[in-house]
């Protein structure tokens, strides 16, 4: 994932080419982060899963592992991936979070991201 100065970002995807979006048009609706070490600024490895939603209801679920300020071993491969979900496909969002958790090899982080989604309102 890269961020540019014009408020756009490029997201590495799974099973398709990267997407470039304007962050202001894709609001953040869920996020989970993990790092090794006591503090994130000292970490060797950082992981993140993010869910963004467009006004039309489409969602992008993406995640990555990256080097922290503590550095990583030479040759470390940092996986990244994501999925574009059709509007209204709530189950697809959950599946995509689980799949991204698999891509970055962190199922517990996927659980945390799911728990950070907006709560579902049940009728009485």
pLDDT, mean of each 10-residue run, the chain (124 residues): 72 95 96 89 90 98 88 82 95 97 96 96 82
Cα dihedral 63/98/108/11 (nearest 10): 0
Residue 38 confidence (pLDDT) = 83
Do 43 and 71 contact (CB within 8 A), yes or no?
A: no
Residue 75 confidence (pLDDT) = 77
């Amino acid at each position: 994932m890269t961020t540019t100065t014009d408020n756009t970002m490029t997201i590495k995807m799974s099973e398709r080419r990267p997407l470039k979006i304007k962050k202001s048009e894709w609001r953040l609706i869920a996020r989970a982060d993990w790092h090794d070490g006591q503090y994130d600024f000292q970490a060797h490895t950082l992981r993140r899963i993010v869910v963004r939603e467009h006004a039309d209801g489409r969602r992008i679920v993406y995640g990555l592992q990256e080097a922290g300020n503590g550095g990583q071993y030479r040759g470390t491969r940092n996986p990244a991936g994501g999925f574009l979900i059709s509007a209204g496909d709530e189950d697809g969002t959950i599946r995509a979070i689980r799949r991204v958790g698999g891509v970055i090899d962190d199922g517990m982080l996927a659980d945390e991201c799911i728990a950070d989604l907006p709560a579902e309102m049940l009728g009485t």
